[in-house]
A and B are shown apart, each in its own frame.
Chain A
Amino acid sequence: MAFVAPALVLVGVFLVFPAVWTIYLGLLDYSLTGSAAQAPTFVGLGNYVTALGDPAFTRSLYLTLLYVGFSAVVGQNVLGFLLAWFFRTTNAVVRNVLNVLVLLAWILPGSVVAFLWQALLDRRDGTLNAILGTTDFAWAIDHPMAVIIVFNIWRGTAFSMLLYSAAINTVPRSHLEVARMAGARPWQQLRDVVLPTVKRHVLTNTLLITLWTFNDFSPYLLTGGGPDNKSEILPVYIYKEAIIGGHLGYGSAISLLLLVANLVIAVAYIRLLRTRDPEEATT
């Protein structure tokens, strides 16, 4: 149908094509400046060999896994679920206040949010130091990873909260009633009634927030990857290598490694979703 064509063209040119081109560029020695800019040479898997042997890359990968694991898979997931679970029974005022605050953290523009955190954590005048009475405590320099992890929990919990709120609503009230009659405590209700029902939502949510966090560039606005590259997660590393350093071939190779990592995660999650299905049907 002719109606699909424009969308397909746009998606093809600006989404699929760049993804495919990444594969090709990763095989070249190609830079914005210097001799490699004039005549890109084909180096095969050279960039990948360089990347995998480069301690800067492996450290960046390790930091990315830390970042994704603590801020998204554990942080946003657990906090989002707890909020959704808590909202189920709490009074409207508390729920609305907390809800609005969590949502604001999510919908405000990234640049604004990053500056708000700079103001919060500033070494000399930061609000946090003022409240804690600590002077000259440079949070972003002494604990850069902790800072960007906490920041991302603050920033992204809203999505998990919304998704889990919707998911918990799908648990039939009668099931919870029966559990309560049987003397199940809230914790037991959660474990035996709610979690089995929302298992699929947990997987979907974890998949989405994992992918988003993997590609999150906003820590750059907080720490710039520093100090000493201590918070240089992969998107920041790619940006520094490719755009600032001009090493386009190398940057593309790392991009592809990032893409592959994402795909592996996505496929693993989808596998998990599939295998859970029949089990659920039988139990």
Chain B
Amino acid sequence: MSASVSPAPSAPSASPPSAPSARSRAAGPARTVATRSLVYAGVCVLVVFFALPLLWLVLTPFSPAPSYRATLSGFTFDNMAKLFDNPQTWPSIRNSLVLAIGSSVLVIALAALAAYALSRVRIPGRDQLLYALLLLSSIVTGTAAMVPIFLMLFQIGLIDRQVGVILVLSGGLLPAAVFMLKDFVDSIPKSYEESARVFGATPGQILRHIVLPVIRPGMATVGVWALVQVWGNFLVPYVLLSDPAKQPAAVVMYTFYDAGGQPNFALISTFALVYSVPVVVLYLVVNRRYGFAFQGGIKG
């Protein structure tokens, strides 16, 4: 441990032992008050820093005169009415749902299968392979592989199709999903499967009746994680979908401008709010129900 049990403070004053402690007690509060107020000033700055951009999202949708400025100058539902009348609103939300749910289901299904197999089979280099894929996925899903992905989808005829976007996004999310789910599968006692096998269960039956029920919380977590990732993704659908009727909310939000390039604040603010609420709600639900259940959440 740190050897800073310094005798220094007491050394200068050769007075009785009570004196230095009294002095330090006097200096202590003053110093703590100073650092305290400094810390709380810092906290205030941080609260303002993190809250300031969010203010607009909360205030503007209900402002009678929506603009760039976040103000509290009244309260109205007119903007919401305009949003609901807009022909693009619901199709784009529906597209977002299609992409998010499609990718999420695909990721859960394939990740569960793969996680089960990888957890039960001993292949040399298995962990390294998973780690390499994880690394690759965190790199490639950004902009680096945009060109080949664009070209590939162009050539196999999946450009401008939602299936293409779902496949690309799922491919990027899968390594991390397998990584997370494998933790859950690893925690299932081997004896469960052995006894099932004794009674003649096939691998498919074992998976369906033993593994899946046990890893369901993990699948929910991974599913929601994938859902949120896809829901917010802008770049992939922006590059791969050109038909406005197929674009998800993330992209459509950037089309609510008038001919002069001025944003339509009534639409954008309400749309941003409606589009944001699902992820926040999902996050809260998952956080409450599953919390930090990433390891050892299953005890039979």
Contact check: which of A14, A86, A117, A125 meets B43 at CB < 8 Å?
A: A86
The answer for the CA separation of A184 and B6 in the assembled complex, in Å, is 9
Contact A110 B52 (CB under 8 A): no
Q: Is B5 an interface residue (CB 8 A)?
A: yes
Q: Which label, helix, strand, loop or mixed, suits the secondary structure of the A interface?
A: helix
Q: List chain B residues, Cβ under 8 A from A225.
A: none
Per the 8 Å Cβ criterion, residues 35-57 of B in contact with A are 39, 43, 46-47, 49-57
Contact A98 B52 (CB under 8 A): no
Contact B146 A1 (CB under 8 A): no
Task: Flag the segment in B81-89, B106-114, B189-197, B212-220 that touches A.
Answer: B106-114
Contact B276 A15 (CB under 8 A): no
Q: Is A52 an interface residue (CB 8 A)?
A: no
Q: List chain A residues, Cβ under 8 A from B50.
A: 98, 101-102, 104-105, 154
Q: Is B293 an interface residue (CB 8 A)?
A: no
Contact check: which of B171, B203, B207, B231 meets A13 at CB < 8 Å?
A: B171
The answer for the CA separation of A17 and B140 in the assembled complex, in Å, is 11
Q: Is B95 an interface residue (CB 8 A)?
A: no
Q: List chain B residues, Cβ under 8 A from A126.
A: 68-69
Contact check: which of A10, A97, A119, A208 meets B60 at CB < 8 Å?
A: A119
Q: List chain A residues, Cβ under 8 A from B167.
A: 10, 13-14
The answer for the CA separation of A107 and B231 in the assembled complex, in Å, is 11
Contact A212 B275 (CB under 8 A): no
Give the distance to chain B from A204, nearest Cβ to Cβ, in Å. 12
Q: List chain A residues, Cβ under 8 A from B280.
A: 104, 107-108
Contact check: which of B52, B67, B231, B253 meets A115 at CB < 8 Å?
A: B253
Query: Assuming the A-B contacts A86-B39, A104-B280, A119-B56, are A109 and B232 also in contact, with contact meaning beta carbons closer than 8 angstroms in the complex?
Result: yes
Give the distance to chain A from B141, nearest Cβ to Cβ, in Å. 8
Contact A101 B151 (CB under 8 A): no
Q: List chain B residues, Cβ under 8 A from A1.
A: 117, 120-121
Per the 8 Å Cβ criterion, residues 66-104 of A in contact with B are 79, 83, 86, 90, 94, 97-98, 101-104
Query: Assuming the A-B contacts A4-B117, A11-B174, are A183 and B5 also in contact, with contact meaning beta carbons closer than 8 angstroms in the complex?
Result: yes
Contact B172 A111 (CB under 8 A): no
Interface residues of A, count at CB 8 A: 88
Contact check: which of B46, B146, B168, B276 meets A239 at CB < 8 Å?
A: B146
The answer for the CA separation of A21 and B152 in the assembled complex, in Å, is 9
Interface residues of B, count at CB 8 A: 84
| Binary CB contact string for chain B from 58 to 91 against chain A (1 if under 8 A, 0 otherwise) | 0010000001111000000000000000000000
The answer for the CA separation of A251 and B145 in the assembled complex, in Å, is 10
Contact B276 A14 (CB under 8 A): no
Contact A113 B148 (CB under 8 A): no
Give the distance to chain A from B163, nearest Cβ to Cβ, in Å. 12
Q: Is B291 an interface residue (CB 8 A)?
A: no
Q: Which label, helix, strand, loop or mixed, suits the secondary structure of the B interface?
A: helix
Contact A182 B5 (CB under 8 A): yes
Give the distance to chain B from A194, nearest Cβ to Cβ, in Å. 11
| Binary CB contact string for chain A from 195 to 229 against chain B (1 if under 8 A, 0 otherwise) | 00000000000001001101111100100000000
The answer for the CA separation of A181 and B241 in the assembled complex, in Å, is 63
Contact A108 B276 (CB under 8 A): yes
| Binary CB contact string for chain B from 248 to 262 against chain A (1 if under 8 A, 0 otherwise) | 011101100000000
The answer for the CA separation of A103 and B54 in the assembled complex, in Å, is 12
| Binary CB contact string for chain B from 148 to 161 against chain A (1 if under 8 A, 0 otherwise) | 11111000000000
Give the distance to chain A from B1, nearest Cβ to Cβ, in Å. 5
Among residues of A, the one whose C-beta sits closest to the C-beta of B236 is: A217
The answer for the CA separation of A94 and B40 in the assembled complex, in Å, is 10
Contact A3 B145 (CB under 8 A): no
Q: List chain B residues, Cβ under 8 A from A234.
A: 143
The answer for the CA separation of A258 and B137 in the assembled complex, in Å, is 14
Give the distance to chain A from B24, nearest Cβ to Cβ, in Å. 10
Q: List chain A residues, Cβ under 8 A from B19.
A: none
The answer for the CA separation of A2 and B121 in the assembled complex, in Å, is 11
Q: List chain A residues, Cβ under 8 A from B114.
A: 3-4, 6-8
| Binary CB contact string for chain B from 113 to 140 against chain A (1 if under 8 A, 0 otherwise) | 1101110110000000000010111111
Give the distance to chain A from B133, nearest Cβ to Cβ, in Å. 6
Q: List chain B residues, Cβ under 8 A from A154.
A: 49-50, 53
- Between-chain CB contacts (< 8 Å), 12 pairs: A6-B114, A15-B133, A15-B136, A15-B137, A19-B136, A110-B234, A115-B272, A182-B1, A183-B4, A212-B142, A214-B142, A215-B141
Given pairs A101-B54, A111-B234, A128-B52, 17 additional interface contacts (CB within 8 A) = A6-B114, A15-B172, A18-B145, A19-B145, A21-B152, A86-B39, A104-B54, A108-B279, A111-B251, A111-B253, A115-B268, A119-B70, A125-B69, A212-B142, A215-B144, A217-B143, A248-B151
Write the residues of chain A forming the contact surface with B, with a CB cutoff of 8 angstroms. 1-4, 6-8, 10-11, 13-19, 21-22, 25, 79, 83, 86, 90, 94, 97-98, 101-105, 107-113, 115-120, 122, 124-128, 130-131, 154, 166, 175, 178-179, 182-184, 188, 192-193, 208, 211-212, 214-218, 221, 234-235, 238-239, 242-243, 248, 251-252, 255-256, 258-259, 262-263, 266
